[in-house]
Structure 1
């Protein structure tokens, strides 16, 4: 009789632990966040378009870009602080800073995409050398660095802001545009992205293994 009571108590405790573990796991999954993805969908340098030999084109020292920002989360909004973009021209192994641009911060809803299509003036770029390179069938490279801080809205509260720093290289040919016409250039973090295993998940897994053992 006492053995049956002990067995019932053990089953009750195991059931409680299992339910608590699953509840904690589901809460962690619902609260975890994923950083938005950033990409350069279009990039155009009028001065490097060899099909337009007008003086207006040659003296047009601007960069056109189409920045795409995507929030892939189904139930969380993203708030961007000002987005700082820095453009570099790659020459041999060195990078020459040629332009800066700031995209004003904004709110992005669940599973939403946003485009920021802008023109920015470039200075310090070796235009003649770049034009000579593309005219001879080569490509030239521009690096785009993006830095901002984001916070997320989960139900009725906001998370703390966290840094978002990504970068990417854009190859430009004699059309003045990026080589991959139909495919965006995804901006990526230079640091490795470790697997995000939260303590709640570890706790839940431990409880499940405990229940399986008994």
Structure 2
């Protein structure tokens, strides 16, 4: 026989200590994340009121709507995200310093489930720009520039634990063609902010180190248990 039952009990206690490692791992993981793990983008934006049907002029569709597609990506490893209400504000950018608010959209808070490779939520909807003249804004120009602002707060979830709240304030300018009514850029437009805590590099390094350490300790533990408690 191997070591006595007492010896196996010792290693059983060590295994318990190993499992307890998960607790500080979760705590440190949640402490390492920040708002920069959530990335918001505008995938599509369409304003039917400025759609030009021919070179002679504009056919103003009787609509004040702004149709958009919002993408929310969670890059936190195996962590879900609780969102407060998301507020999108659309403004007409007359020049580099003057932005006129024209519409506000509120998306009720929700939970985004995480996974090993990040997760993305796709929300498509529209908002009314009441009291704004698209005809004047699009007259004699090839593009209309809209500024999109996003404001929300998030909490990350790992297993049964949640992080503190992180405020996210992000924005970007979206050029809309007066020929097609669609955003000019073919790619998604990232909403960016300088106010978020950019902890992405430190967070990914911590996760990589923690996983490597956990795997190494687990291997040593299994080998120790095998040689200590096995029969002759």
* TM-score (normalised: structure 2): 0.66
Of 107, 115, 130 in structure 2, the residue corresponding to residue 123 of structure 1 is: 130
Aligned counterpart, 1:37: 39
Aligned counterpart, 2:157: 153
Matches within 5 A, 1:190-205: 190-191=194-195
Does the Cα contact within 8 Å between 2:168 and 2:196 map onto a contact in 1? no
> 2 CA distance for matches of 1:81 and 1:113?
17
Is 1:133 aligned to residue 140 of structure 2? Answer: yes
| Matched positions, count | 171
Does the Cα contact within 8 Å between 1:77 and 1:152 map onto a contact in 2? yes
Matches within 5 A, 1:1-214: 27=25, 30-31=29-30, 32-34=32-34, 35-51=37-53, 54=59, 57=61, 59-92=62-95, 93-110=97-114, 111-134=118-141, 138-174=142-178, 175-181=180-186, 183-191=187-195
Deviation at residue 190 of structure 1 after TM alignment: 3.6
> 2 CA distance for matches of 1:54 and 1:112?
40
Q: Choose 40-49 or 70-79, whichever is displaced more.
A: 70-79
Deviation at residue 114 of structure 1 after TM alignment: 0.6
Does the Cα contact within 8 Å between 2:167 and 2:196 map onto a contact in 1? no
> 2 CA distance for matches of 1:82 and 1:185?
21
Task: Kindly report the root-mean-square deviation, in angstroms, between the aligned alpha carbons of the 2 structures.
Answer: 2.7
Question: Which residues of structure 2 form unaligned runs of 5+?
Answer: 1-20, 207-232
* TM-score (normalised: structure 1): 0.71
Q: Does the residue aligned with 2:139 lie in a helix, a strand or coil?
A: helix
Aligned counterpart, 2:214: none
CA pair 79-65 structure 1, distance change in 2 beyond 3 A: same
Moved beyond 6 Å, runs of 4+: none
Question: Which residues of structure 1 form unaligned runs of 5+?
Answer: 1-22, 202-214
Does the Cα contact within 8 Å between 1:152 and 1:159 map onto a contact in 2? yes
> 2 CA distance for matches of 1:36 and 1:191?
13
Deviation at residue 194 of structure 1 after TM alignment: 5.3
- Deviation digits for residues 93-142 of structure 1 (CA, Å, limit 9, x no counterpart): 311100001011111111211111111100243322222134xxx21100
